[in-house]
Amino acid sequence: MTAGLHLARRGLSVLLLEADPNFPGGRLQGGAAVTLEHNGRTWSFPGEHGLHGVWGQYHNLRAMLAREDIDPGFVPAKEEAWILRHPKSAVQWTKGGSALRKSWIPAPFHYLALFIRPRFLQMLTLRDLASMFRVLGGLIFATAYDPAVEDARLDRFTLADFFKGWSPTLQSLFLGLARNFTSARPDQVPQAGFIAFLRFYTLLRRDAWRFNYFNRDSHSALIAPLQARIEAAGGKLQLGAQVTDLIRDGEGWRVQWQQPPSSEAVPEAENEISEANASHVILALDIPGARKLLTHSLSAHALTWSMAVPSVVVRYWFNRKPKGSSAEPEAGIFTGEFILDNYFWLHRIQAVFGDWSQVTGGSAVECHIYGPPEILLEPDAVLLARGLQDIGRVWPELRSALITQSIRRNAATHSLFSGNTDQGLSVQTPWSQLWACGDWVRYPHGSLYMERAVVTGLAAANGVLTAKNLPTYDIQPVDPPEILVRWIERLLRWVRRRARSYGQRREQN
């Protein structure tokens, strides 16, 4: 949508083909609403893929919103909790987000601000303290590489390798952070992707951890306004159009699509093939979709593909609010013996939930479940029951307060970023006049996820605009590291260059 909008703004003819018959926007798409009858009044809560944050370094997304005069209704994040449960032990928790954002200790040592919080210290053991040097060593190691920009050659290593030697408690903390950004198990997450996450979101700058929520569902806040701007600029968006073939046609392309088999929009047209000719094509597919299309149409067997994983979103409505200091943070992560991976108190973030809470005195929470795979295979009723049990462990006052609940299963489209490797699909593909964009597509920019989708969308649009001799758009870089970590980064990269040069000389001799 970023690419289509900016091309349409330059006066080009743009057709966006969206496979979903109801909602565009990928992982920001909308979903079926949940209707709730409570105290004689009907409430409707829009569905979505899951809550998303607009983080401190999402500069290109913010710039696009400013250019298009789109106000998504930002709600600043105030606090995030870390909730830990070891086997057969009581639940422990501490506030964590504000400690990183407001730390007086410069990066990359700002994590030490957690140690002045009594609740955090109570969660640690002597083994945790003994492993601190290994933890700090791992964090410093991450400053030496930028896998989102360079080919760091870490493709053989996973997050499990990164955590070797860490104490269970500290491993749980960073694993919780990793799971909330990568949605996968440690043995699935590429180490390059985890290092890229650390660098972009927290390691190099304290203010990178500042972020905002949308005060309504993602479709209403962002996707619908983008669609309206695209159509106002002369572009067209066609829903229920699943691309099946890309065919070389002279110097351009012929694109063929059909109604997805699962769609009920026009059942009788499911087998009907439509097509259009285009001088340039930009692919904005998830990983499974791109792999299927390019392998089928262009025999792209030489490309390597990152993993994509599924997720589950559960929501619970209660007739009362949680109490006590543990209810102060509006969001947080679960680690240890929980089926849930995170939570967000929706009545403190989104307006429709806030209105409902004000009228009824109730509360609503959204939680995400990222696996492991055997957990995701459980029936809906089991996942909902186990998730509710986790909520009751942390907030016992909600155990008998449930009003209703919902569950949404997201397909395996969440990308596990594997770094800027030469073998992956890049914005400028191996085929002329064919471009690609998405949060998993290779491009030398240090951003991830929503911001990377916007950056690669701009880069793909710029490729087309350059070919058309039209003005391109500026792409803002990520903020530079803070001074101390910048010196460490330069020193370690100098050591890397010297070690590489020494190794090459030995091979020659």
The CATH number that applies at residue 17 is: 3.50.50.60
Domain count, the chain: 3
Residues 6+ apart with CB under 8 A from 300: 291, 294, 425, 430
One domain, residues 325 and 239: no
Position 43 in a domain: no
Of the residues 209, 234, 260, which one is the last residue of a structural domain? Answer: 209
Write down the pLDDT at residue 266: 52
204 and 106, same domain (yes or no): yes
Q: At 298, which amino acid appears?
A: L
Residues 420, 410 within the same domain? no
Helix axes 59-67, 449-467, angle to 10 degrees: 60
- pLDDT in the model for residue 24: 93
The boundaries of the domain holding residue 19 are: 2-26+218-304+416-467
Helix (H), strand (E) counts: the chain: 17, 19
Return per-residue pLDDT of the chain as tens, 509 residues: 999 999 999 999 999 999 999 999 999 999 999 999 888 889 999 999 999 999 999 999 999 999 999 999 999 999 999 999 887 778 989 888 888 888 999 999 998 888 888 888 888 888 888 888 888 888 888 888 888 888 766 667 777 778 777 887 877 777 777 777 666 666 777 788 888 888 999 999 999 999 999 999 999 999 999 999 999 999 999 999 999 999 999 889 999 999 876 545 555 555 689 999 999 999 999 999 999 999 999 988 888 888 888 999 999 999 999 998 878 999 999 988 899 999 999 999 999 999 999 999 999 999 999 888 889 999 999 999 999 999 999 999 999 999 999 999 999 988 877 777 777 899 999 999 999 999 999 999 999 999 999 999 999 999 999 999 999 999 999 999 999 999 999 998 888 888 777 677 777 77
Q: Torsion over CA of 245, 251, 252 and 256, rounded to 10 degrees?
A: -30
- pLDDT for position 265: 52
Instruction: Please check whether residue 292 lies inside any domain of the structure.
Output: yes
Distance from C-alpha of 222 to C-alpha of 235, rounded to nearest angstrom: 17
Q: In whole angstroms, what is the distance from residue 246 CA to residue 295 CA?
A: 10
| CA 234 – CA 453 distance, rounded (Å) | 22
* 48 part of a folded domain: no
Together in a domain, 421 and 300: yes
Q: Are both 128 and 170 inside the same structural domain?
A: yes
List the alpha helices (DSSP H) in 233-305. Answer: 287-298
Are 408 and 422 part of one and the same domain? no
Same domain? For 410 and 421 the reply is no
Please check whether residue 80 lies inside any domain of the structure.
no
Boundary-marking domain end, from 209, 236, 256: 209
Residues belonging to the chain: 509
407 plus 422 within the same structural domain: no
In a domain, 492, yes or no: no
| Residues 5, 229: Cα–Cα separation, whole Å | 7
What pLDDT score was predicted for residue 13? 96
In this structure, what CATH number is given to the domain that contains residue 338?
3.90.660.20
- Does a structural domain hold residue 268? yes
Question: Looking at the structure, do residues 435 and 401 belong to the same domain, yes or no?
Answer: no
Pair (298, 447) in one structural domain: yes
Last residue of one domain, picked from the residues 174, 209, 244:
209
pTM here is 0.92
- 481 cis-preceded (ω within 30 degrees of 0): no
Q: Is residue 76 part of a domain?
A: no
CA 367 to chain centre: 15
Closest CA to 255 of 230, 274, 231: 274
Q: Within a domain: residue 497? A: no
The alpha carbons of the chain give a radius of gyration, in whole angstroms, of 24
Question: In the prediction, which pLDDT does 40 show?
Answer: 84
Going edge to edge, which strands form the sheet with 74-76? 53-55, 211-214, 74-76
99 and 139: one domain? Answer: yes
Cis peptide before 480 (omega within 30 of 0): no
Q: Both 294 and 399 in a single domain?
A: no
